[in-house]
Amino acid sequence: MSRKGKIILIILIILLGVTIAYLVWPQPTTTSNSQRTVISTINLPNPILEGNVSVEQAIQNRRSVRHYTNQSITLQDVSQLMWAAQGITDKANNLRSVPSGGQVYPLEVYIIVGKDGVTGLSEGIYHYNPYNNTLEKTSESDARSDLSQAANGQAWVKEAPVDIVITGDYSKMVAKYKDETLCTRFVNLEAGHAGENIYLEAEARGLVTVALGSFKDDQVHTVLGLPANENTIYIYPVGYSAYNT
C-alpha cells in the first residue's frame, strides 16, 4: 500500500474508533422518559450548599414524624430535597448526590404536591429531572388521598404538604449486570441512600419526614401513572412537624 493510502487508512480507523466510543459511552440525557407525558416544566432554584446544621446534628436529631402542620414548604425546600435525593453533584463526570452501583442511576424521583403544599407551585404530580434541575409536571391533580389509600391507608401521606416518591428501574441495572438478584439488591440499596439523604436534608431545613415501605405497588403505579419499567421503592411524606407547635 502507498504511503498516502496508509495515512487514509489510519485516519479512517481513528474516525471509526471515535464514532464507536461516542456511541457506547454513556451520554448525559437532558430529556425525560418518553413514556412520561410532561404538561409543563418548572425551573427549580439552585440548591444552597451551605447550612446551619452539621451532618452530625442532622444524624443525631433525625426522627420519623407522621403528623404535620398545614404550613406550605417553599420551592427552595423542594429544590434541596430533590438535590439531596438525586441531584447532579459533579457535572463533568455526571455523578449524583447518591452512590450508584456501576454508575447506572436507575432511580427516579417524583414529588406529589398538595393544594397549597408548596408556595408558588400548583398541586400535581412532578418528576424531577436532575440534568437541568427542573420539575416535569405529569398531572394537575392533588393525588395525596389516592396515594394514602395505595399506602395501605397511612393518613400521613394525605396530611403532608408533599410526598416524595422514589422509583427504580430494575431493568436498567439488569442490562448492565444481568444477575437479577444482584440487580434488585443494588437498586433497593441505592434507594436507601437517597432516602437517608431526604431524611437528613429535611432535618437540616427544619422539616420532618418518614420512610414508607408499606404500600401496594400496583396501586401506586396507577395513581402516579408511572412508566411500565418503574417500580415504587419508597414514599416520603414531608412537612413541618405538628409536635413543635
Query: Using CB under 6 A as the criterion, which residues of the chain lie in contact with ligand FMN when the complex forms?
Result: 63-64, 66, 154, 210-214
Nearer to ligand FMN, 42 or 211 (CB): 211
Instruction: Provide, rounded to whole angstroms, the least separation between the CB of residue 129 and ligand FMN.
Output: 26
Nearer to ligand FMN, 111 or 210 (CB): 210
Instruction: Provide, rounded to whole angstroms, the least separation between the CB of residue 13 and ligand FMN.
Output: 52
Nearer to ligand FMN, 137 or 158 (CB): 158
Query: Cell digits for 78?
Result: 423542594
**What kind and span of H or E run contains 110?**
strand 107-113
Tell me the three state secondary structure of residue 118.
strand
Instruction: Provide, rounded to whole angstroms, the least separation between the CB of residue 70 and ligand FMN.
Output: 20
Within 10 angstroms of residue 32's Cβ, the number of other Cβ atoms is: 18
Instruction: Provide, rounded to whole angstroms, the least separation between the CB of residue 99 and ligand FMN.
Output: 18
Phi, psi of 166 (to 5 degrees): -105, 125
Distances (CA, A) of 12 to 16, 20, 180: 6, 12, 40
Query: Cell digits for 31?
Result: 430529556
Query: Cell digits for 137?
Result: 409536571
DSSP 8-state class, residue 122? -
Triad 228, 37, 226: Cα angle to 5°: 30
Nearer to ligand FMN, 93 or 214 (CB): 214
Instruction: Provide, rounded to whole angstroms, the least separation between the CB of residue 60 and ligand FMN.
Output: 11
Nearer to ligand FMN, 67 or 172 (CB): 67
